[in-house]
Amino acid sequence: MGTITTADGTQIFYKDWGAGRPVVFSHGWPLNADAWDDQMWFLASHGLRCIAHDRRGHGRSSQPWSGNDLTTYADDLSALMEALDVRDAVMIGHSTGGGEVARYLGRHGTKRVVKAALVSAIPPLMLKTAANPGGLPIEVFDGIRAGLVADRSQYYRELAAPFYGANRPGSKVSQGVRDAFWMWSMQAGFAGAYQCIKAFSETDLTEDIRQIDIPTLVIHGDDDQIVPIADSALLSSKLIRNATLKVYPGAPHGLMATHRDQFNGDLLGFILG
């Protein structure tokens, strides 16, 4: 584990496990790199080098007032990959992290990357607009902002239920998984978490994903209550030139926990294939 310092003085925390082809993870909102531990342990145990960072404003990274937007997130990720001289990498992004990966590829290209995976990811655009009528209305995101301002601790506790599908009949999500979600969320700084809502909801990533020209695995659950599949994976998989779409029936947003074994196997097969 270590840190790098970006051009604006922000410290970015990262963990670097194993050896072999590098796999670079980007986490969702409002979590941190620990959300990927199950996947990092599994893949590192299969001969891969796994790198995950805490996005600025989240986890153990600095909590600057500025730069909480997808372009800066992508630039931070680029700085990390350059500092570690990562080459021939597979990038994996979940939710907002999928947007971070898309913006990185659109902005910095694929000179260091050979494959990508977008998991329960936000591209191309979450917000409902005239050009994106299937998106979510702004009132949904205003509600998230209001929830943070009113009582962010309680908001995160309640958000864990739809995040992992714990509000569905027959759910087997453990209290431990939900508690971990709350703990990671509470480590995010208030400013970073709040400002990131605008970043993940209002950033149009259409042109970024159209530029992706490497094999890309798009994984999404068809019961995702956070990033509905119809206006995300089903669209992005058509816009990406070399995309493979895998839909997990009944899976929620946090499928890396609820469908861990299936997901880990799919990732390993994609990376080595």
46 is catalytic: no
Structure-block tokens of residue 219: 């994984």
Task: Give 2's strand partners.
Answer: 14
Q: Which amino acid is at 247?
A: V
At residue 196, the 3 state secondary structure works out as helix
- Among candidate residues 16, 69, 224, 266, the one labeled active-site is 224
Which long-range CB contacts under 8 A does 141-149 form with residues at least 24 apart? 141/197, 141/198, 141/201, 141/202, 144/197, 145/194, 145/197, 148/190, 148/193, 148/194, 148/197, 149/194
CA distance 206 to 14: 28
Tell me how far the alpha carbon of residue 157 is from its chain's centroid: 19
Considering all CA atoms of the chain, what is the largest pairwise distance in Å, rounded to the nearest integer? 48
Q: Measure Cα distances from 214 to 64, 73, 115, 117, 186 in Å.
A: 33, 21, 6, 10, 35
236 is catalytic: no
Neighbouring C-beta atoms of residue 269, cutoff 10 Å: 10
Q: Which amino acid is at 128?
A: K
Omega before 169 within 30 of 0, i.e. cis = no
- Among candidate residues 26, 95, 236, 237, the one labeled active-site is 95
232 is catalytic: no
- Among candidate residues 26, 253, 259, 266, the one labeled active-site is 253
The answer for residues whose C-beta is within 8 angstroms of residue 155's C-beta and 6 or more apart is 144, 147, 148
Residues 252/163, Cβ–Cβ less than 8 Å: yes
At residue 178, the 3 state secondary structure works out as helix
Residues taking part in catalysis: 95, 224, 253
